[in-house]
């Protein structure tokens, strides 16, 4: 609409005394001077509205703002022409229409090869039509249209038509500018989110754990483990020397996923999760962890989105078992399995810490021992990978204590199996709790991925 108003003021100003080639100059009056001043002000506003948008204008597969792009493209040479004249300290008074005609003669509207906004599906072309107007044809993926300026002097009318109907130029410009502003706002939000995400810097070693003291069973339990009251763990299972000797490294060379992430409890959410929006639940945290491991560390990750607790959490592990067995059978390259949860805590307890200025949810590794105080070892829940599972969580906890002190809670040991027999390198992780925010949970994925990479690569 601003452009249409500017052109109208230019027309009136030219009639009242602005310089028109091959036309007789009229004497300046107060009215003429005011109109010229108004035209110059509108000209300045047009530049301020359109020229900064050039770098951000883009074509969309759903909407094609051809007219806006063509107008912006036509203004660029105009701006440069005026700037060049000012640099030469020469005063030039030319109307908008004359410059458009001049650009058409020079090929500024010349064709798709000169249009930086052209897509493979559409092009912009045009040319000069005698001395009375500019005729341009614009074709895009969503329709075809034509803008024609006709008449004598500086008068002109125009209309854009496509398969959806017709609209006046002002409406088209308003709609196009509105879409562009929405795209800019969306891009700014995405950039801000990306800046927040990318602000994480992996830590170097912060704390040296004295491994010799861990040979004492009571010291080991005190520093590394919380044992559920219904189970028992002995030195036969918790052996630090054996844990440290276990090789947890994996190869990235073979094609296919190396890591599987899934959620036995897919419906777990956070304090500000949006109901029905998976991106703000534990599933979204799984997406974020997958993204970091893939983009930052080069792993191929399969994030499996099975749901086993939609109506009830009862039997979720039993319901998940056949699905995960099938996934592993169909993807034999998978070497690491992660069952990602969030915990449940009293409302007065928040599992959060400040990590380099970012609120970050604390997390915990979890192991099932297939053993209870009442029954002893549970034969029907036998886990042939128990030693490796325990070694994996110990090495993860050790790296967390060395590189991110205070970020992890002690490893929790409980009585049953929790499908951990499915892989030697199996982690069950409780990341945050129901009273953590989504942001805190997402932020925890960065150090978690770093710790996992250190263990799986043997670095650090």
Helix (H/G/I), strand (E/B), else coil: 80? helix
Of residues 76 and 212, the one with the higher pLDDT is 212
Q: Phi-psi bin for 301: left (phi > 0), alpha (psi -120 to 50), beta?
A: beta
User: Would the pLDDT of 361 be above 50?
Assistant: yes
Give helix 2-15 / helix 96-106 axis angle, nearest 10°: 110
Structure tokens at 252: 């990235």
68 backbone dihedrals φ, ψ, rounded to 5°: -60, -45
Helix (H/G/I), strand (E/B), else coil: 65? coil
DSSP 339: E
- Compute the average pLDDT of residues 201-217: 96
**Per-residue model confidence (pLDDT) at position 154:** 39
User: Would the pLDDT of 178 be above 70?
Assistant: no
- Compute the average pLDDT of residues 83-91: 42
pLDDT digits (tens, 9 = 90+) for 321-355: 999 999 999 999 999 999 999 999 999 999 999 99
Domain boundaries, the chain: 2-190, 206-457
**Per-residue model confidence (pLDDT) at position 116:** 32
- In CATH, the number for domain 206-457 is 3.40.630.40
Q: Which residues contact 417 (CB under 8 A, 6 or more apart)?
A: 368, 370, 378, 381, 382, 383
pLDDT digits (tens, 9 = 90+) for 388-441: 999 999 999 999 999 999 999 999 999 999 999 999 999 999 999 999 999 999
Whether the full predicted model's pTM is greater than 0.75, yes or no, is no
Beta strands in 102-238 (DSSP E): 123-129, 133-140, 143-148, 160-162, 165-167, 225-227
Confidence band of 460 (pLDDT split at 50, 70, 90): confident
pLDDT digits (tens, 9 = 90+) for 128-177: 333 333 333 333 333 333 433 333 333 344 443 333 444 444 554 455 55
């Amino acid at each position: 609409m601003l452009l249409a108003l500017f052109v109208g003021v230019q027309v009136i100003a030219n009639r009242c005394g602005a310089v028109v080639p091959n036309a007789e100059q009229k004497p300046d009056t107060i009215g003429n001077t005011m109109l010229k001043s108004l035209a110059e002000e509108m000209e300045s506003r047009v530049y301020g509205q359109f020229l900064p948008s050039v770098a951000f204008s883009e074509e969309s597969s759903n909407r094609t703002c051809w007219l806006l792009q063509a107008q912006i493209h036509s203004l660029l040479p105009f701006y440069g022409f005026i700037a060049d004249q000012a640099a030469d300290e020469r005063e030039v008074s030319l109307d908008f229409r004359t410059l458009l005609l001049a650009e058409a003669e020079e090929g500024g509207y010349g064709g798709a090869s000169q249009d930086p906004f052209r897509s493979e599906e559409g092009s912009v072309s045009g040319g000069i039509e005698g001395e009375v107007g500019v005729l341009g044809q614009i074709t895009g993926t969503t329709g075809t249209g034509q803008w024609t300026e006709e008449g004598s002097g500086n008068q002109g009318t125009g209309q854009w038509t496509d398969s959806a109907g017709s609209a006046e130029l002002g409406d088209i410009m308003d709609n196009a500018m509105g879409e562009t502003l929405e795209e800019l706002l969306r891009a700014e939000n995405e950039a801000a989110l990306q800046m927040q995400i990318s602000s994480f810097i992996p830590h170097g070693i912060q704390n040296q754990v004295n491994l010799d003291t861990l040979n004492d069973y009571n010291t080991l339990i005190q520093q590394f483990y919380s044992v559920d009251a219904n189970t028992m763990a002995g030195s036969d299972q918790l052996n630090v020397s054996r844990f440290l000797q276990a090789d947890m490294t994996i190869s990235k060379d073979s094609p296919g996923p190396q890591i599987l992430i899934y959620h036995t409890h897919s419906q777990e959410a956070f304090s500000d999760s949006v109901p029905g929006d998976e991106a703000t639940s534990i599933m979204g945290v799984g997406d974020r962890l997958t993204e970091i491991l893939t983009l930052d560390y080069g792993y191929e990750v399969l994030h499996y989105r099975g749901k086993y607790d939609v109506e009830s959490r009862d039997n979720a592990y039993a319901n998940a078992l056949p699905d995960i067995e099938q996934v592993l059978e169909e993807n034999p390259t998978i070497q690491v399995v992660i069952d990602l949860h969030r915990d449940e805590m009293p409302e007065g307890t928040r599992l959060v810490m400040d990590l380099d200025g970012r609120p970050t949810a604390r997390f915990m590794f979890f192991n099932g021992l297939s053993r209870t105080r009442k029954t002893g070892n549970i034969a029907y829940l036998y886990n042939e990978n128990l030693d490796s599972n325990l070694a994996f969580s110990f090495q993860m906890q050790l790296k967390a204590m060395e590189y991110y002190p205070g970020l992890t809670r002690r490893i929790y040991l409980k009585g049953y199996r929790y499908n951990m027999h499915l892989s030697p390198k199996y982690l069950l992780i409780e990341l945050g709790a129901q009273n953590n925010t989504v942001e805190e949970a997402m932020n925890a994925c960065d150090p978690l991925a770093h710790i996992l990479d250190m263990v799986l690569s043997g670095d650090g």
